[in-house]
Structure 1
Amino acid sequence: MSFNVADIRNQFPILHQQVYKKDLVYLDNAATTQKPQRVIDVLDKYYQKYNANIHRGVHFLSSHCTDATESARKTVQEFINAAHSHEIVFTRGTTESVNLVAQTFAEKFIKKGDEIVVTRMEHHSNIVPWQMVCEKYGAELKVVDIHPDGQINMDSFKAALNEKVRLVAFTHVSNTLGTINNVKELTSSAHQQQIPVLIDGAQAVQHTHVDVQAIDADFYVFSGHKIYAPTGIGVLYGKEKWLEQLPPWQGGGEMIDQVTFEKTTFNELPFKFEAGTPNYIGAIALGEALDFVRSTGIDQIKAHEDALLTYAAEKIRQFDGIKIIGEAPEKSSVLSFVIDNIHPYDIGVLLDKTGIAVRTGNHCTQPLHDWYKVPGTVRASFALYNTKKEIDYFIEKLEQVLEMLK
């Protein structure tokens, strides 16, 4: 299968425009990815021709959308190699998926004196829900340390595991450092002490092959908008044995079996966790996006993005006073950096005027930036449609910006 970046770019209409009379160079893919025309067409088609609430109607439109939604669920199952399609719960995104697990798991299994373990590199959405749970139930949040290059300190990780720990939550790929964690090893270490794990895959599924059964993940979560699908749709994968034990998170339609004023019984998996009218067209579009990634080839996507990251890192190291934050040997396509005596925000604003979109700030990893003792970073993040030509332009304009700011 050939990987032709020009052909790929032609499938993304947003890339063919100018910003401030400059060709758009979009390097903010860790925040959200752009959408191929085929995904946009699915959204358009279903809203124009088939829109009807699912699982409840006997008419053609409802049946058609129901079938398409459940087909998308099957697509997700196959994409991450889950054992069953009913282990796939549709949510609004990674944040909602983590909150769903945090609240339901805590209600069932967390009590005063228990511990939950996270790592220093986590996104706020994999910190704050656990803090809320700890405060509510009297548990303690323990933080695993990292090495300066951005790798998890395995001695710190193993030392944090004990009989009080009820769950470990960690990211597959850091959105700030780009570090690709050895999630199989981390999971195995936790399982040796019968501790379940939740893995934040928001920055992983679009860049590398994910097999939840090979990893042996108990929970794995990700967002559609990071993998070329619309916003407002995400995935919670949970092993059947865990999802069966967890109570419902929200009450309402869809998640019920029988309702009386005396007692309500709940629906089977996965619908027990999908209260109300779901974002079914978003789910259908997510299935289309995953088909796009699968047809392009995840291994080829990774190879292309790895080459871009290596190329960009080599170029950026040529600048005086620059420090790359995150130098782990195994990295995904994220390049975060700081430059002596120049605020990241100023760099980002001036790059924007040249048509270049990068992210500046703490990227929802404020504790991580505090640990590195930096106020924020400039983050360039790459996707399958980016090119070395764009990186050359980025480096050229960055050099000009730095000359202006010195």
Structure 2
Amino acid sequence: MQIYKVGGAVRDRLLGKPVTDIDWVVVGATTEEMLAKGFRPVGADFPVFLHPKSGEEYALARTERKNGRGYGGFIFHASPDVTLEEDLIRRDLTINAMAEDDQQNLTDPYHGQRDLEARLLRHVSPAFAEDPLRVLRVARFAARYAELGFTVAPETLELMRQLTESGELEALTPERSWKEIARALMEDQPQVFIKVLRECGALKVLMPEVDALFGVPQPEAHHPEIDTGVHTLSVLEQAALHKQPLTVRWACLLHDLGKGLTPEEEWPRHIAHEHKGLKLIKAVNERFKVPKDCQELALLVGEYHTHGHRALELKPSTLLELLQNFDVYRRPQRFEEFIAACEMDARGRKGLEQRSYPQADYLRGAATAARSVAVQPLLEKGFKGPELGEAIKRERLKALKGYKEAASA
């Protein structure tokens, strides 16, 4: 039995990056031997075991053969005669197909170290094209390592195009797709993920609503970058620079989908794009079975982001309606995330990345003013039921009028 550290742990150590997760592969062992050593089995499809003390995953060396569509369409074979090289060749990228023994001696049959130095994301073998999830994974790695200068090798990008054209992407489950999308959006340069998907044609298959934004112009006075797709990537980039959570990043990606529906004769204006985009945002949310908090924020940002930009001009009644729609009294964090998304939208414009966004503090102040209305005095006056609700609304409107006057003074 020989045990090797494989994949990301080896890659990141060689890159000088922190190693978080460690994967191990065991060569020359049987399931019975692993169980006898106290390892606990967890793999349903192939033999994976948890170490009795560390809890880390150890997988028996295995080969795989395609026998169906999609990510799960493989037959796995694990036995003591499977070599380390045979196990490594089934991996996606050369930089993920290296192994180390306990003395840090490197096994690198597919030149992963060379590609690390060349800053290339290159597939290990033609079998790469058998797994559609790899299109998303490579785009995610491109986003993760863009800051180090990594790019996708042309021949790998070509395989990704072939995978896309084969229809295999449509066999991906919503859960697997979302897991990769969510991880990619949380990388340091998530806009690179979208760019790579677009380069290989996968964006048009996975998120045609986002792909449709490229080539759609906006008024240059407000958007010096002009192109709506380019703007969307810039907003996503700003969200990452400002360490925004996944909810905000997802909303940033989808906020302008309605502009993809504007007839060409109306360009570069996009009247009512906020409302038009809601059905598209819903469609994307449903396609990937997106978590509820991400779904809700994306829809609210899509509908109200221009309210955020015009916050200083809004009438108190409109401001109150906005606050009510966000339920700022019970869910203050969601409104804070809306403000963040609006600010990222404003900063995601060419040359305006550093411009201040006074609307943010103004909206926070408005929410504080509305929340400051006490309910107890109204109860003591005898208001109850629907009458109490109307009385609270009147008091909140009065508070917002006062707030707006004070802010304008």
TM range (shorter): under 0.3
Structure in which a larger fraction of residues adopt helix: 2
- Which one has a bigger Cα radius of gyration? 2
What TM-score does the superposition give when structure 2 sets the normalisation length? 0.26
More strand by share: 1
> Which structure ranks higher in relative contact order (CA pairs < 8 Å, sequence separation ≥ 6)?
1
